[in-house]
Structure 1
Amino acid sequence: MPLGHGTFLRRALRRPDLMGAPAPTGAALAAEIAAVVPDVGTPTVVELGAGTGALSDAIHARLVPGSRYVAVEVDAEFVAYLHRTRPWLEVLHGDAADLTTLLAEAGVGTVDAIISSLPWTLLPPAQRHSMLTAAAGTLGRDGVFATIITLTAIPDRVRDLVRCMEDRFTHVEATAPVWRNLPPARLYVCRGPRHAALRADEAS
């Protein structure tokens, strides 16, 4: 069993409401989402719902020295696991619903990329909308938001999620499914946060 799977499965059995998938993200999908992260300069990257770090190694390998990589995780067991296995990862123990406060307390300014494996379609609509607003609000004008959505997600909830993304970003793209993942999933990659474009127009 790969590193971290045992920890993930124990938490999935105890708190299935916190999990969007029966297993950590696979290597193929992790590599695809890591490719969204800027590989030039020293970007600030935030990961929402880091879990056992299934995405973290691929993202870390892409970042150059001087970059800042912050993970937000609500589960204390996962936080402890990440501290033990990935000491280079800056882990914030808290709920992604409190993203703005968590980042402000950690001294994180404008973010270049937000990566997420949160189960967005399982969240209540009001919470989903407010969390996406907060996520978009932390990004700079060229920032990118990318999240994993499983193909098993309820279609109506996926459509609502996409509409919510389109309200907050000028460009939303769904990638081809990664069938080798368990369960199969795709990425939604969002660019052009609308709030940043409005601020730039007001300043000009």
Structure 2
Amino acid sequence: MSSAAGAVEFLREFVKSPTTTAAVGPSSRYLARDMVAPIPATGDPVVVELGPGTGAFTEAIQRRLGGRGRHLAVELNQRWAESLSARYPEVETVCADARALPRLLAERGVRADVVVSGLPWAAHAPQDGVPLIRLIADSLTEQGAFTQFAYTWTRWAAPARRQHADLRAVFEETVLSRTVWRNLPPALVYLARRPR
């Protein structure tokens, strides 16, 4: 899919469902590079991608893995899940809610080494008192890492502050990247390591 076609598809889905799409266009390769940086350069890591959308991070994950490991993509939007599966047959694409992650990994008999999230802040809101980040942390290995991007202008919004507090509560280390100016709109990456 060309970048122009991906942008049009993304905008169409945003207009149909802004609360679940949460972005007006796909992420840049510069943001994707920072999002996938924690994927180990050696070995056979298990990488989970939450909310891959049109595949901006999917492509970067596949490049970083270079044929190694395992890549599971969990996408709620049926059209995007089907498109992603057709474009990346080597990726295990599942059309499901991110909260199904513990079950999906248990069915495969694995834990994640890295979780890369393109989900909107709304997806992280607690359900039955459990924030999504707790489910993600419980799905990671002891040395696991989690990345989540956010647009710079949302950093001080209540959902972003709650998310940052949740990250600090369930991970030993949480780092915020520099602004990725070569993304529209500019964004930053939350990197959390070693779930408690």
User: What TM-score, normalized to structure 1?
Assistant: 0.88
Decide whether the 8 Å contact of 2:20 with 2:123 is kept in 1: no
Matches within 5 A, 1:75-114: 75-105=77-107, 107-114=108-115
In structure 2, the residue matched to 1:145 is 146
Give CA deviations for 1:143-186 in whole Å, capped at 9, x if unaligned.
Answer: 00011011122522221111100110010000001112111110
Q: Which amino acid aligns with 1:115?
A: V
Q: Percent identity?
A: 33
2-structure distance, mates of 1:129, 1:189: 20
What's the CA shift for 1:58?
1.0
Q: Aligned residue for 1:22?
A: 24
Q: How big is the shift at 1:89?
A: 1.4
- Deviation at residue 102 of structure 1 after TM alignment: 2.3
| Whole-angstrom distance in 2 between the partners of 1:110 and 1:84 | 25
Query: For residues 31 and 17 of structure 2, what CA distance do their matches in structure 1 show?
Result: 24
- C-alpha distance in 2 between matches for 1:124 and 1:90: 23
Query: Alpha carbons of 1:108 and 1:13: their partners in 2 closer, same or farther (altered >3 Å)?
Result: farther
> 1:20: Cα distance to partner?
2.1
| Contact 2:52-2:58 at 8 Å conserved across structures | yes
Please give the residue correspondences for 1:123-138 in structure 2 after superposition, counting only pairs within 5 Å: 123=123, 125-127=125-127, 129-138=130-139
Q: 2:177 maps to what in 1?
A: 175
Does 15-24 or 73-82 show the bigger shift? 15-24
Q: Distance in 1 between matches of 2:123 and 2:82?
A: 25
Q: Distance in 1 between matches of 2:126 and 2:29?
A: 32
Pairs aligned (count) = 192
Q: In the alignment, is the contact (CA less than 8 A) between 1:171 and 1:192 conserved in 2?
A: yes
Which range is displaced more, 153-162 or 75-84? 153-162
CA positional deviation for 1:27: 1.0
CA distance in 1, matches of 2:11, 2:78: 15
| CA-atom RMSD in angstroms | 1.7
Q: 1:159/1:77 Cα in 2 relative to 1: closer, same or farther (>3 Å)?
A: same
In our comparison, the structure showing a higher alpha carbon Rg is 1
The amino acid of 1:136's aligned partner reads A
Farther off after superposition, 174-183 or 151-160: 151-160
Structure 2: gaps (5+ residues)? none
CA distance in 1: counterparts of 2:137 and 2:188, whole angstroms: 20
Bigger CA drift: 77-86 or 5-14? 5-14
After superposing the two structures, state which structure 1 stretch, 134-143 or 1-10, moved more.
1-10
Question: What TM-score, normalized to structure 2?
Answer: 0.91
Is the 8 Å Cα contact of residues 117 and 148 (structure 2) preserved in structure 1? Answer: yes
